[in-house]
Amino acid sequence: MSILVQPDTKVLVQGITGSFGAKHAQLSIDYGTQVVAGVTPGKGGQIFEHGGQKVPIFDTVAEAVKQTGATASAIFVPAAFAADAVLEGVDAGLAVVVCITEGIPARDMIRVKRAMQGNTQTRLIGPNCPGVVTPGEGRDSQGGCRIGIAPGYIHKKGHVGVVSRSGTLTYEAVWQLTCRGAGQSTCVGIGGDPVPGLSHLDVLKLFNEDPDTHGIIMIGEIGGSAEEEAAAWIKAHCQKPVAGFIAGATAPPGRRMGHAGAIISGGKGTAAAKMAAFRDAGIGVADTPSEMADTLLKMM
């Protein structure tokens, strides 16, 4: 098994006619993802073609879901419209919504989170994230499900779950595991914005319940308290080995480091505090990014 998405998950792409959305729709199709629909308002009835596959385009997510049975979406629309795109997916009853868009105002995401309160049907990944990959069985793990922008070819089917706020560090952890012959069950990039959908803790709970996930790599960064909250839960409940890395140890206080949520304020959210919480919870701490996979594999 795996979490969130499976090789047979039917995916629609919101913004499939834009250059960025089109490119990654093509890469997902090449990976073997079941891309069954595109959505661009005003372009319903057109066809997106790639690799001999014809993907119908619809004006609305609701119509696309009704006609194709899609249960997940990838959002590649400009920041000004992304929050509404998320809510359109929620209203259509999608199980998973992956929002790749960066630069969405925090106020818009607060509106989304409030609208989703009490919603147990839709899980939001992102925004400002690389998405989710469940590797398949084929060569280079093709035949899996790739929703977002992660490079599919670095993945290998296996038993390690990866959850990260950083996109590039997600890829680094995945490639380290693959090079060591240790594949992944599912890799989830939750994004680095201050108002995210799924948190580390949400994903960790799913990995802990997944019988096919035998170990977990959790990658965090400075800012906020999500990593400490996840560490406390791991200490009390997690039944599987967890290795972790915290990015931003050398970041000056008060300066935002790339991600909107990666900022230390009031002395809180420091790398030192997060690593101390990790160690207290029994999480193996990698001192550098190059040690992430080895730290977990030694524990396993």
Residues marked active site are found at 259
Which amino acid is located at 193 in the chain? Answer: D
Question: Which residue's structure tokens are 């201050």?
Answer: 194
What are the residue ranges of helices labelled H in the chain? 19-31, 61-68, 79-91, 106-116, 167-179, 200-209, 226-237, 271-280, 292-299
Residues shown for the chain? 300
* Number of other residues whose CB lies within 10 A of the CB of residue 73: 30
Edge-to-edge strand list for the sheet holding 123-125:
47-50, 53-58, 34-39, 10-14, 72-75, 96-99, 123-125
CA distance 183 to 107: 38
Q: Are 127 and 87 in contact (CB under 8 A)?
A: no
How many helices and strands (H and E) does the chain possess? 9, 14
- What is the signed CA dihedral for 251, 173, 16, 85, rounded to 10 degrees? -50
Exposure of 248 by Cβ count < 10 A (0-12 exposed, 13-18 middle, 19+ buried)?
buried
The helix, strand and coil proportions of the chain, stated in percent and rounded to the nearest 5, come to 35, 25, 40
